Amino acid sequence: MKFSYIDIATCCPAYAIIDPQSGVFEITLNDQLKAKWQEAIDKSVPLFLDGEGVETLYKIFIKMTVDGNSVWYALKLENFPKNIEKMIIVRCWLEHLFKCAFEHCGFGDAVFNPEMINILFDNHNTIPTQFNIQQKYFFPSNNLCKYVLDFVLNHLASRYLHIDFTRVDIIEQYTDILFNILINEGNKFPKVFFEFLSGFPRLYDLIVE
């Protein structure tokens, strides 16, 4: 299914609420996976990362546009699932979202936690654990930048990726990651645009080499 927008935020225009239970389907869990999930619960591994470590009540907002008319939907998933049943709900909804396509997305305040995604899917080879978004613009802060890049590398595919680093003080620490995106991730990101506050000669030198 295709939607026009997805975001992780605390508020949104008028929206219809999605019942989290409505997306649950049967999942077979072996003892090893249950143990991993329980460990994540005990360690309070979050579903969302905002770079601030604040227990903000985020919701997933999805917009569908048909014939010029837009409808917003809100899905509230627990940032810190408290039991296996809550983990199953998150796991099911992430799989639903991975199977959708989105024209644009927000993710300006928070991103999905790659660690939680890996725990929930346990390197499941038959399910591509990535969001399919036609155009994506990131404007990360210092604290959010490393999480954004981890998410981009492991759980995003986009025809046009634009990352604005003008709020990041020490961008050089991410040189290798940015170079890898440009050189090795062309299948996932056919068009990439990086924006910096000043020049980035080290990245340029790596490219021309």
Tens of pLDDT, residues 100-156: 999 999 888 899 999 999 999 986 667 899 999 999 899 999 989 999 999 999 999
The mean of the pLDDT values for the chain is 91
Tens of pLDDT, residues 173-200: 999 999 999 999 999 999 999 999 887 8
Residue type, 11: C
Lowest mean pLDDT among 24-33, 188-197, 198-207: 198-207
Residue 52 has pLDDT above 90, yes or no: no
Q: What is the pLDDT of residue 179?
A: 94
Q: CB 34: neighbour CB atoms within 10 A? A: 12
Q: What is the 3-state secondary structure (H, E, C) of 100-152?
A: CEEEEECCCCCEECHHHHHHHHCCCCCCCCCEEEEEEEECCCHHHHHHHHHHH
Residue (of 89, 163, 159) closest to 131 by Cα position = 159
Q: What is the pLDDT of residue 1?
A: 84
Report the domain count for the chain: 1
Residue 67's pLDDT band, with cuts at 50, 70 and 90, is: confident
Report the Cα–Cα distance between both ends of the chain, in Å, rounded: 42
- Cβ pair 50, 109 in contact under 8 A: yes
Domain that holds residue 172: 2-208
Residue 55's pLDDT band, with cuts at 50, 70 and 90, is: low
The distance from CA 53 to its chain's CA centroid, rounded to whole angstroms, is: 17
Instruction: Name the percent of the chain lying above pLDDT 90.
Output: 69
Question: Angle, nearest 10°, between helix axes 142-155 and 114-121?
Answer: 30
Q: What angle do CA 52, 89, 122 make, to 5 degrees?
A: 75
Tens of pLDDT, residues 87-99: 999 999 999 999 9
Q: What is the pLDDT of residue 197?
A: 84
